[in-house]
Structure 1
Amino acid sequence: MAFLRCSFLFLMLIGLGLAQAEECPPFWNRFGSHCYRFFGHNKTWQEAENHCQMFFNRHAQGHLASIKSQVEFNLVLTMWKTSLPPPILGLYLGGIKTDSFFSWSDDPNNGIAGFVAWLPNEPNNSGGMEDCMATTVDGWNDVPCTETFPHVCKIRIE
């Protein structure tokens, strides 16, 4: 009887542990401790960020994707390129310029450091109105926030 009780308790603890493990929602892709989802409808940068913030879990709220490594950038590009036919003009990422420097919308107190993939001579603030970040298949570009592009959302799950 004691064996059955211990076995039952052991199985309950395993079940609780499995229930605590977070998975990505349907149609989202897991990479490390984050989930990503491509959205093909065009939005301004703020509309896209607001859309991403509608997704949340017990760990975090969603944001436009911040890119911290070449592997992560390749993941986002692959999601994009396999979802829309060419020509591929732009895709919003979570970079936004505040106080004259770019930061990620999911970490607004720190500038973009470490991995960067700016196109040559970017960011250049052409026309004085390029405060948002979009990417092409070749690299990042600063663009007017009123441009409309598809976007990728990212949410932390651990």
Structure 2
Amino acid sequence: MNMKTVLCASILLLTVLICGCTTTNSQNTVAAATPEIPNLIVPNLTGNWTGTMKGYDDGTGFNDYSGYTMTLAVIEQQDRVFSGEVSFTNQTGSPVWGVTPCAGVIGRDGKAITIIENEGGYSSGSLIASDEMELIYADGREPFSIAIDSLKKS
């Protein structure tokens, strides 16, 4: 063999070895940068959640719904999905509006809550503690309304 051929082959082999030894495996880098999500402990929301609300109603204005109590009764729960009903009573315990069926979900963080009501309104909020939640209710139908619901498990 001629000396030029051996020299070119040696340089090519050396270049391939150097390039192969200095590159990183992109799969390992991605795997190391993606942390594993720990097992989520799903909070048990079943039971009655009661509390107060403050809001704004189109045509009426600001409202603290004084004397009214809101109750979210979570009747069933499977993993992060739950269903139940929402009701409102006055100071004597008499119903103010009818009972409204609802369903909701708990977010991946175990704190975020989203609820949809049969009548068209929805709420989003979070668990503040194992026995306390705050929801923001919104209904875009005429007359539109929005409210802050502060509920405690009873």
| Bigger RCO (CA 8 Å, 6+ sep) | 1
- TM-score normalised by L of structure 1: 0.22
Name which one, 1 or 2, has greater alpha-carbon Rg: 2
Structure with a larger share of its residues in strand = 2
Structure with a larger share of its residues in helix = 1
